[in-house]
Amino acid sequence: MSAEDWKLMDLVRWTADFFKKHDVPSPRLDAEILLAHVLDMKRMDLYLGFDQPVSEADRARFRELVRRRAKERWPVAYLTGVREFWSMPFRVTPDVLIPRPETETLVRVVADLKPRRIVELGVGSGCVSAALARELPDVEITAVDCSGAALEVARQNLASLGFGERVQLVLASGLASLEGPFDLVVSNPPYIEAADIDRLAPELRHEPRVALDGGPDGLHTVRCLCAEAPALLERPGWVALEIGFGQADAVQELLRGAGAAEVQVFADLAGIPRVVLGRFLES
């Protein structure tokens, strides 16, 4: 096929096949997202204009993204610079964890409690704080992260979505320096066992290790949070944590050991235990 003959659907089909040969997950979807990004289109527009020719300049940009996706296994969200969460667009860079659909379970659990003052540990892109700010118009949120680069991404996202004045960003490695009281502490902490990280999908190599590495058993940050959070809580108060596969029992015990009188587990849409909620009744 000559350079002038490449049409939108030709590129999508060829790229999907190329991705399949390189074991890229979701090959057709990734091809469509990357081409739509290069052409500043919606994915549906690719089908409406399926026989539209693609310029050499656009093909060159697209080829580079395809190469990085297939050969270097860069996640699509980092290649396009955006990921949707809670029906809102978030800018993402390798300084922040890519928002994932299962984390919306954490938002739903917290929003149902209707807290007035929240502290989030590990704000990352700002997706959880932004979603809670949208669902709870009167809430006050303090969002903490140990990475200044991540806080800058969160600041930009919160400002662009209109929540910049409602979320206070704090650079810290934990909760000890904060002044309460808060109604609720929420976190999607690093919870992957350190030895497992390099055995997981190659895309994870590009995400910040500090947001993934939960120490030898995956629960290092959870332990620290359980030690620090109770002192910051109004009573009754809550701690809501996203967890990894198989961690529900251990995290429930950590919350009970920290003084939680009631503990509940919530599954995500795939039926996997995803959030543990502890309720603290007495100081």
Q: Does residue 78 form part of some domain? A: no
CATH of the domain at 59: 1.10.8.10
Per-residue pLDDT at 180:
84
Percent of the chain with pLDDT over 70: 98
Percent helix, strand and coil across the chain, each to the nearest 5:
45, 20, 35
Question: Do 150 and 273 sit in the same domain of this protein?
Answer: yes
**Based on the number of CB atoms within 10 Å of its own CB, is 155 exposed (0-12), middle (13-18) or buried (19 or more)?**
middle
Question: Do 20 and 51 sit in the same domain of this protein?
Answer: yes
Q: What's the domain count of the chain?
A: 2
Q: What is the pTM of this model?
A: 0.94
CB 34 within 8 A of CB 8: no
Last residue within a domain, chosen from 29, 49, 72: 72
Band (pLDDT 50/70/90 cuts) for residue 3 is low
Band (pLDDT 50/70/90 cuts) for residue 249 is very high
pLDDT, tens only, 11-62: 999 999 999 999 999 999 999 999 999 999 999 999 888 889 999 999 999 9
Question: Do 217 and 161 sit in the same domain of this protein?
Answer: yes
Residue 86 has pLDDT above 70, yes or no: yes
Torsion of CA 145, 148, 153, 154, to 10 degrees: 30
**What count of other Cβ atoms lies within 10 Å of the Cβ of residue 40?**
8
pLDDT, tens only, 98-119: 999 999 999 999 999 999 999 9
Before 53, cis peptide (omega within 30)?
A: no
**What mean pLDDT do residues 238-252 have?**
97
Per-residue pLDDT at 72:
97
Before 236, cis peptide (omega within 30)?
A: yes
CATH of the domain at 161: 3.40.50.150
Phi (first) and psi of residue 185, to 5 degrees: -110, 130
C-alpha 186/C-alpha 175 separation (Å) is 11
Question: Do 97 and 236 sit in the same domain of this protein?
Answer: yes
Per-residue pLDDT at 51:
86
Last residue within a domain, chosen from 72, 99, 131: 72
Q: Does residue 79 form part of some domain? A: no
Lowest mean pLDDT among 4-8, 161-165, 169-173, 178-182: 4-8
Last residue within a domain, chosen from 72, 105, 121: 72
Question: Measuring CA to CA, which residue among 67, 81, 62 is closest to residue 24?
Answer: 67
C-alpha 84/C-alpha 125 separation (Å) is 11
Q: Does residue 100 form part of some domain? A: yes
**What mean pLDDT do residues 206-224 have?**
96
Structural domain boundaries, residue 137: 85-280
pLDDT, tens only, 255-270: 999 999 999 999 999 9
Residue 170 has pLDDT above 90, yes or no: yes
Q: Does residue 155 form part of some domain? A: yes
**Based on the number of CB atoms within 10 Å of its own CB, is 162 exposed (0-12), middle (13-18) or buried (19 or more)?**
exposed
Q: Does residue 23 form part of some domain? A: yes
Residue 1 has pLDDT above 60, yes or no: no
Question: Do 49 and 119 sit in the same domain of this protein?
Answer: no
